[in-house]
A and B are shown apart, each in its own frame.
Chain A
Amino acid sequence: MLIVEYIIKGFLEALDLIHHPYILDIACRSLKVSGSATILSLFFSVPISILIGLYEFKGKMIIKNLINTFAGIPTVIWGLILYLMYVPNGGILGKFDLLYNVKGIILGQALLITPLISSIIIDAIEKTEKIFRKLCYTLGANEFQTIKTILKESLPWILLSGIIGFNRAISELGIALTIGGNVYVPGASDFNTRVLTTAIQMHTVRAEFSTAIALGIILLTIILIVNFITNYIKKSIET
């Protein structure tokens, strides 16, 4: 009973709160951080995945297995690893002022989604390679033209991987909380690190459920849209 009441009351208040600048500020930061993380991750995962996907070499299976394993590391463990890397005293990245800073979250989320993105791209390239390499050769294409065709055919998959990565990044809590610290000072947006997930967690702990629900609605809407796009792309690729 209590819970149902809370959800209804919270939901109604949440609708009022949704266009509050505080909520919008946090939602924008979330989009910005996870969007940047996705783009950063694509920068290093795309070339690596293309190399792994296109060529056969010793230990390829092991590398692919490793990538799949890394994709499954829980975000709290990433948070812990990154914290130890970022701490100014003794961390290997301690000099770069990444702890309790959005830069740190962006790098962290980029690392988090890189295995996920890579494994999707590698699979896609291997699949298209199987179909197109022989075909291209029989049509008289040289190696360069063949690779160009394979990459062109894999492009939708690369975009898809980015969107799936973004979805994972925006909905993760462990890194944003441990590395970001959920800092929020009104009017100091350069220093704030509060994103949707950490804000929801905090407002829940503080028993401010309406705010938590309002933030939750925004997060769910973003994820819903992202999933819709994902399914659309998947369908288009298959047909």
Chain B
Amino acid sequence: MKKIIYCLLVILSVILAAGCVNQGGTTNQPTNTGMTEEKPKVLTISTTTSVYNTGLTEALAQKFKKDYNIILKFIPNGTGGAIKDAESGASDAIIVHAVSEEAKFLNEGYGVNRKVFAYNFFIIVGPKDDPAHIKGLNPIEALKRIYKAGEEGKAIWVSRDDKSGTNVKEITLWKLAGYNYDELKTKKWFRTTGEGMGDTLKYTNEVKGYTLSDIATFLVYKKEGIIPNLEKLVDKGESLTNVYAIIIVNPNKIKGKDFKTAMFLEKWLVSEKGQKFLEEFGKDKYGTTLFYPAVNVLEEKKEPIYKWIVKNGFIKEGDYYYECPEKFIYNTTLKFFKFPVSEIEG
């Protein structure tokens, strides 16, 4: 009996030692680095899954650690989850892509200084043989055809139904096509996964259905050969524009957040350096830019993209489309875009 107990004590001490060695490692590190650099600043940023799953967040975190000694803790939560995080005081800023949700967040007083920094396009993907014949159509027409084919039992639509930015966009698109999302959910050909983009694409591939996807996740999965049955069928159109924005948590509403450092990140993202970084990201791996820089397009009013960005990523109030309505601009020298409604819609 004694032997066993000794044996066990050895095992336990090994586990303990494993813990201690590591703890030693982590406590050693700051003293080592402390000689040369000061204590790093830490930001918690809740983001959408599409930004996270492509690895953009990690590339950013690495750059900020190296160049500015700022630790960016990115938490992938989807647009809805990111907003919840910010409201509960867990994050310093959010990076999201659902303008209607963002406007709500600003209006409730939680966020300030919203800035658009990148855009890309949602795409409608579907099976190679395209039973609903949507290839090359505009997105609204495509959805109408899918509805018809679905009713005839020829097509399946897969929806994320998880309140993510992509899902919010999908609901808007169905509305533009003249259908109510809640009614659609009762249809037999309309499947919901409640999962992230990756799993939803895998499921869509399995059932040879159609779905709305962000371009980045689709490219990653296509390249890895996970979704051989799916093809990009509709990839252009104003209503597919996907606009990414950063919002800083309002320091007057939620105490203890690092407003200054968060603003530094925001300014960097829209600076020439940051915009270049976004443009280059993913090029070597996927052969194409995943997140297009938005600042230059807005500044130089490049047709027709700037109008698409404004329509899909700006907040409409009165006669203007605002990047960030004036009442939500707080303590910054940063310039925010606004365009008259007549210019955009005329």
Binding site for B on A (CB under 8 A): 2, 28-29, 31-32, 35-36, 38-39, 87-91, 94, 99-100, 155-156, 159-160, 162-163, 166, 181-191, 205-207, 209, 229, 233, 236-237
Contacts and interface: CB of A to CB of B under 8 A. Distances in A.
Contacts of B22: 28-29, 31-32
Given A36-B19, A190-B29, 13 more contacts: A29-B22, A31-B19, A35-B18, A88-B88, A89-B254, A90-B88, A99-B90, A100-B44, A100-B73, A156-B8, A182-B76, A188-B71, A189-B29
Nearest to B86: A89
Interface string B38-55: 001010100000000111
Contacts of B16: 35, 39
Contacts of A31: 15, 18-19, 22
| Listed residue (A100, A186, A209) with the most chain B CB atoms within 10 angstroms of its CB | A100
Interface of B: 1, 4-5, 7-9, 11-12, 15-16, 18-19, 22-23, 25-26, 29-30, 40, 42, 44, 53-55, 58, 61-62, 65-66, 71-76, 87-90, 196, 198-199, 220-221, 224-226, 228, 254, 256
A182 B23 CA distance: 19
B283 to A, nearest CB: 17
| Listed residue (A100, A155, A186, A207) with the most chain B CB atoms within 10 angstroms of its CB | A207
Contacts of B87: 89
Given A35-B19, A205-B53, A2 B65 contact: no
B6 to A, nearest CB: 11
Contact of A188 (B65, B75, B90, B256): B65
A90 B58 CA distance: 30
Contact of B88 (A91, A155, A162, A184): A91
B11 A94 contact: no
A159 B72 CA distance: 39
B167 to A, nearest CB: 17
7 contacts: A39-B19, A181-B75, A183-B74, A185-B72, A188-B40, A191-B73, A233-B8
B11 to A, nearest CB: 6
Nearest to B88: A87
Contacts of B220: 206-207
A183 B62 CA distance: 12
A36 B17 CA distance: 10
A186 B60 CA distance: 11
Nearest to A237: B4
Contacts of A184: 58, 61
A205 B196 CA distance: 9
A83 to B, nearest CB: 9
Given A88-B88, A88-B256, A206 B55 contact: yes
A90 B90 CA distance: 11
Contacts of A229: 11
Contact of B198 (A155, A188, A207): A207
A92 B29 CA distance: 32
Given A39-B16, A190-B26, A156 B89 contact: no
A163 B7 CA distance: 13
A191 B42 contact: yes
Contacts of B224: 207, 209
Nearest to B61: A185
Contact of B4 (A2, A100, A233): A233
Contact of B73 (A39, A91, A185, A236): A185
Contacts of B54: 206
A31 B21 CA distance: 11
A166 B8 contact: no
Contacts of B18: 28, 31-32, 35
Contacts of B23: 32, 36
Contacts of B5: 155-156, 159
Nearest to B11: A229
A162 B8 CA distance: 11
A87 B221 CA distance: 34
A167 to B, nearest CB: 11
B19 A87 contact: no
B15 A166 contact: yes
A237 B58 CA distance: 49
A159 B226 CA distance: 44
B225 to A, nearest CB: 7
A32 to B, nearest CB: 4
Contacts of A182: 75-76
A204 B90 CA distance: 26
A124 B73 CA distance: 44
A166 B15 CA distance: 9
B8 A185 contact: no
Nearest to B29: A189
Given A188-B71, A207-B226, A159 B8 contact: yes
A229 B8 CA distance: 9
Contacts of A185: 58, 61-62, 65, 71-73
A125 B16 CA distance: 24
Given A32-B23, A88-B89, A38 B4 contact: no
Nearest to B222: A207
A207 B1 CA distance: 50
Given A29-B22, A31-B19, A36-B19, A183 B75 contact: yes
